[in-house]
Amino acid sequence: MSTRELTRLTLAEARRRLRAREFSARELVEAHLEAMARHRGLNAFITETPELALTMAAESDRRLAAGDARPLEGIPIAVKDLFCTREVRTTAASRILHNFVPPYESTVTRRLWEAGAVLLGKTNLDEFAMGSANVTSHFGPVVNPWTPPGEEPGRVPGGSSGGSAAAVAALLAPAATGTDTGGSIRQPAAFCGIVGLKPTYGRCSRWGIIAFASSLDQAGPMARTVEDCALLLEQMAGYDPLDSTSADVAVEPWSARLDAGVKGLRIGLPREYRVDGMPAEIERLWAEGAAWLRAQGAEVVEISLPHTAYALPTYYIVAPAEASSNLARYDGMRFGLRVEGRDLTETYMRTRGEGFGREVRRRILIGTYALSAGYYDAYYLKAQKVRRRIADDFREAFTRVDAILTPAAPTAAFRIGEKMDDPVAMYLNDVFTVPASLAGLPAVAVPTGLDGEGLPLALQVIGRPWDETTVLRVARALEEAADFRALPPRIAEELA
Ligand code: GLN
């Protein structure tokens, strides 16, 4: 098998064939390291870890030879550079952490290494995960591998987990971790034609993940198939006493339950998700998705989530408020960037002023304002109340349906540089992902087609709290019906 063919394998296939000793973990890892080196132009990785990867692969090969393989033995994984990795630089794509080497490992990545996975490197993202296009990174933008040939500077991969999504789409890694606060797993998955799952809030430990908005942040898997996401989630999820919001609920064998079908399930289409100005192609794809599920025996009904229009304004109070509090710790005193001033106050000001980029500073200002004494009730408290209404809408809907089907994003991947001088236009990207985030619900983006320019489009499935099983089952049904196998043209060309 050629090295390029090795990069085409899904996680599930690679796992099976590693166990059958058709190739070694070392060969599999080397094939991906080569692909990463060939595609540095995508800027998907901030830090590559080839030596560590080969050391981990050697251990996997020993275990595979001894018949002692762990669940993800020898599987190479890319990790969003928001997860702390022990002795491997972790930057959050910020200048303020450009030199930060954590002395500890996040719980999610620790679980992955304990399951035998191999770290390929740390992927690029929007600074502190704030963004929808991976254009706010201190390390520069990521290029979507689906960029139409010849177009400069290219399309965005979505954000904030843009490096992870681009890496998986370009076959630089079979799977990656992402984090999702308002859509950062689902929206880049949609823009890059891969599958991305945001689990129920509390499903994966937040410990060791650099905090953005703590009541919303959730880690999840990104991969090329629904099955691969399920396999990865089985290892990422689980109760962690180190995270006070980690839930003590059982990790289920999701990958074994994917093919239960959708017969008899009730699927809701929320009428409020029919937003103005949505491209007709997305509208059509949504109807097609509903038809596929109906054809497989589901009952599809229209539902209403009346507070949907308030989700974005609510999110853009709650998330900046929590961010302003979380980011107060970056003061140049104990780690990260420090820019000396004449006195302590000036040192703080210069460190934070030079360490944080524009978007992060904007959010800190908005959040600090919303939390200040005179405005707390008008903004933060109000947002908390609306958040409850939004969650109640879903609770009500789930008395009538088992899952909700929506588009994943209101557009396909746009051009790098577009929307950058208009933060509100940028924020509108999250219109379909933010409601499930505010309600803490599991939701997945599944690629289901290409638009007229050859760019991927995706649908989203939202489920009841802790019901990843149904979410993944419906996603699997969509995946099967859509039969989406396309690769980015430049990657397909390489394989030809
Ligand atoms: N795009 C949203 C934001 O900028 C969501 C980001 C995320 O989920 N981390 O906040």
pLDDT band at 3 (very low <50, low <70, confident <90, very high): confident
Angstrom CA distances, 262 to 357, 396, 481, stand at: 46, 21, 12
Query: C-alpha distances in angstroms, 453 versus 149, 187, 261, 320, 456?
Result: 11, 18, 32, 35, 9
Q: What is the model's pTM?
A: 0.98
Helices 11-19 and 50-65, interaxial angle, to 10°?
50
Do the beta carbons of residue 355 and residue 96 sit within 8 Å?
yes
Tell me how far CA of residue 260 lies from CA of 240, 297, 392, 470, in angstroms.
30, 12, 29, 9
Phi, psi dihedrals of residue 253, rounded to the nearest 5°: -80, 70
Among candidate residues 239, 236, 257, the one with its CA nearest the CA of residue 249: 239
Ligand 1 atom closest to Cα of residue 429: 1
CB of 198 closer than 8 Å to CB of 436: yes
Q: What ranges do the domains of the chain cover?
A: 3-265+401-495, 309-381
Residue 205 known to be catalytic: no
Active-site residue, from 94, 132, 137, 160: 160
Would you state the pLDDT for residue 258? Answer: 97
Active site residue 160: yes
Paired residues of 461 in beta bridges? 405, 444
Dihedral angle of Cα 83, 3, 223, 136, to the nearest 10 degrees: 50
Phi, psi angle pair for 249, to nearest 5°: -120, 150
Ligand 1: residue of 81, 179, 181 to mutate (most ligand atoms within 8 A of CB) is 181
Q: How far is the CA of 455 from the centre of ligand 1 (A)?
A: 22
Higher pLDDT: 374 or 323? It is: 323
Strand 299-303 versus strand 266-270 pairing type:
parallel
Q: Which residues contact 280 (CB under 8 A, 6 or more apart)?
A: none
Query: Which range has the worst mean pLDDT, 3-7, 203-207, 285-289, 480-484?
Result: 3-7
Confidence of residue 252 (pLDDT cuts 50, 70, 90): very high
Mutate to test the pocket of ligand 1, among 81, 94, 132 (most ligand atoms within 8 A of CB): 132
Q: Is 239 helix (H, G, I), strand (E, B) or coil?
A: coil
Residues in the chain: 496
Which residues does residue 449 pair with via DSSP β-bridges, in sequence order?
457
For residues 464 and 402, give the distance between their C-alpha atoms in angstroms, rounded to a whole number. 7
For tokens 């969650």, what's the residue?
A: 391
> From the candidates 60, 184, 324, 437, which is the catalytic residue?
184
Q: What is the mean pLDDT of residues 44-56?
A: 98
Whether 382 is catalytic: no
Question: Which protein residues are within 6 Å of ligand 1, measured from CB?
Answer: 129-132, 160, 180-184, 212, 319, 430
Place of tokens 């539902």: 303
C-alpha 358 to ligand 1 mean position (Å): 15
* pLDDT tens for each residue of 11-28: 999 999 999 999 999 999
Average pLDDT over residues 149-158: 95
Residue 470: pLDDT band by 50, 70, 90 thresholds?
very high
Question: What is the distance in angstroms between the CA of the first residue and the CA of the last residue of the chain?
Answer: 14
Q: Which residues contact 312 (CB under 8 A, 6 or more apart)?
A: 427, 428, 430, 431, 434
Q: Does domain 3-265+401-495 have CATH number 3.40.50.11540?
A: no
Nearest to 413 by CA among 461, 449, 457: 457
389: tokens are: 């209404």
Using CA atoms, how far apart are residues 204 and 206, in angstroms rounded to an integer?
A: 6
Is the pLDDT assigned to residue 75 strictly greater than 90? yes
Give the C-alpha separation, 181 to 319, whole Å: 8
| Atom number, ligand 1, closest to the C-alpha of residue 130 | 4
**Which residues are paired to 196 by β-bridges?**
222, 445
Contacts of 412 (CB under 8 A, 6+ apart): 191, 279, 451, 453, 455, 456, 457
Kindly report, residue by residue over 199-248, the tens digit of the pLDDT: 999 999 999 999 999 999 999 999 999 999 999 999 999 999 999 999 99
Torsion over CA: 127, 128, 134, 139 (sign): positive
